[in-house]
Structure 1
Amino acid sequence: MIHYHAIVKGRVQGVGFRYFVQSEATHRGIKGWVRNTEEGHVELKVEGEEQAIHDFLQAVRKGSPFSKVTDFQTNPLTEIAHYSTFRIQGY
């Protein structure tokens, strides 16, 4: 089990990007959360099996059909949060 924090920049607000992220996470059995930031980015924290997380992060980096990802920053986290679901949060 691994845990990651990511910031996604580009055209990622107002285009259904958080729902895309939630769908990709749910499809792969990944738990965590995603939210818009006040700066216009999308932030997420996810945990799951290593291969599932790497595949998920690759899909998020590529983006959804209506988004345009221009910068994608990821950081592995050392502690596991034991999220029970994947959800969309507010700011």
Structure 2
Amino acid sequence: MAKTKKVRYQLRFFGRVQGVGFRYTANSIAYSLGITGWVMNDWDGSVLMEAQGTETSIERLINQLHNGVYIEIDRIEKTPLSVDTEERSFKVKSW
């Protein structure tokens, strides 16, 4: 698989990920890496994200989130999705 090919994943982050600036940190990192998609808190205390970009950019997003000051990621569930060719930005969503 080429590293420049676009991919999309649903990512669910578990750990200390709510109330620590996770979504806004993710938004900032995604913007800097050219990743599109969205992020939102989920009812169970996890954070749900759909991220679209190259494999490399998504790996960088995850690595940079691990380095967040107050963020503590215990586990990530990663599910491949179909690429959304119309999506142009990354946003923070609420319920």
* TM-score, scaled to structure 1: 0.89
CA displacement, residues 19-42 of structure 1 (integer Å, 9 cap, x when unaligned): 011111011000000000011110
1:89 maps to 93
Identity %: 30
2:52 maps to 47
The structure with the larger Rg is 2
Superposed, which structure 2 residues align to 1:3-82 within 5 Å?
3-60=8-65, 62-77=66-81, 79-82=82-85
Runs of 4+ in 1 over 6 A off after TM superposition: none
Check conservation: 1:63, 1:69, Cα contact below 8 A.
Answer: no
What is the count of residue pairs matched by the alignment? 89
Q: Specify every segment of 5 or more residues in structure 1 that has no aligned partner in the other structure, as ranges.
A: none
Separation in 2 of the partners of 1:81 and 1:66? Answer: 31
- Letter aligned with residue 74 of structure 2: T
Distance verdict in 2 for CA 1:43–1:28, change over 3 Å = same
SS of the counterpart of 1:2? strand
Which stretch shifts more, 45-54 or 28-37?
A: 45-54
Instruction: Using the TM superposition, give the Cα deviation of residue 63 of structure 1 relative to its aligned residue in structure 2, in angstroms.
Output: 4.6
